[in-house]
Structure 1
Amino acid sequence: MIQINIHSDSDVKSLEIPNDIGINLMELLKAEAYETIEGTCGGMALCATCHVKVTDSIPSLSEPSNDELDMLETLPFIYYESRLACQIKLNEDIQQLNIEIIKN
């Protein structure tokens, strides 16, 4: 199971999902009705409407690709820990994930 803690405004929601769920973080957040996660491009790293901040260092999390970094740089404000949720694949390598939803 993957434990995901989602910080949004002053709210924290914890989810426990199967580690073989086979989706990315953006798809999960949209299914959980987080309206600030639009995913306009459908997960292609072309729009940055699924901007999140990963608040913990997770060695098993893949590094952002050059395409993801290029798209993040188009945003008015980013963090060192900024990621596109569509580029975070939820799999058995991730045990726990703490994220903050960023409103751009």
Structure 2
Amino acid sequence: MKNSIQFTVIEDGQNQQIETFHGAYPNLMYLLKDKLFLNSFGECGGMGKCATCIVKTTGIKGNSVTKDRNEPNTLIKLGHTEENIRLSCQLFITQDLEGAQIEILENIF
């Protein structure tokens, strides 16, 4: 598909190819909730405060590498200082996700 964005999502050890388009969802959290029907995922609605949408990323690029807004503080409070641990609500659906791997981490709440 023209201008599509494709990436792999790993949930419970299962790989799933996702194909979407720039701006099709407000952020990655909404896409994951819609496509994978995740319970208790994204409880704060995308504010970057609850960490119920935590993911491990491999291969994201561009501006998506930068953690903004509430994300760094929320992750530090939980002891996550790794560059590749992210809140999916803070990742926008852009070409930065093309070819990436997104692993949904177990919700610890």
Cα deviations by residue, 1:62-84 (Å, 9 ceiling, x for unpaired): 40025201101222556431000
Question: What 5-or-longer segments of structure 2 have no aligned partner?
Answer: none
Which consecutive unaligned segments of at least 5 residues does structure 1 have?
A: none
Structure 2 residue aligned with 1:95: 98
Q: Deviations over 1:3-24 (max 9, x none)?
A: 0200122200001112241420
What is the RMSD of the two structures over their aligned residues, measured on CA atoms? Answer: 2.2
Which residue number corresponds to residue 13 of structure 1? 16
Aligned residues: 104
Q: Distance in 1 between matches of 2:14 and 2:81?
A: 21
Counterpart code for 2:48:
A
1:56 aligned to which of 41, 52, 59:
59
Of residues 70, 73, 79, the one that matches 1:70 is 73
Moved more, 23-32 or 52-61: 52-61
Q: TM-score, normalised by structure 1?
A: 0.83
Alpha-carbon separation, structure 2, partners of 1:31 and 1:84: 16
Structure 2: how far apart are the matches of 1:66 and 1:18? 24
Residues in 1 aligned to 2:29 and 2:86: alpha-carbon distance in whole angstroms = 11
**Whose helix proportion is higher, 1 or 2?**
2
Question: Which residue, out of 35, 56, 61, partners 2:38?
Answer: 35
Percent identity between the aligned chains?
32
**TM-score normalised over the length of structure 2:** 0.80
**Match in the other structure for 1:2:** 5
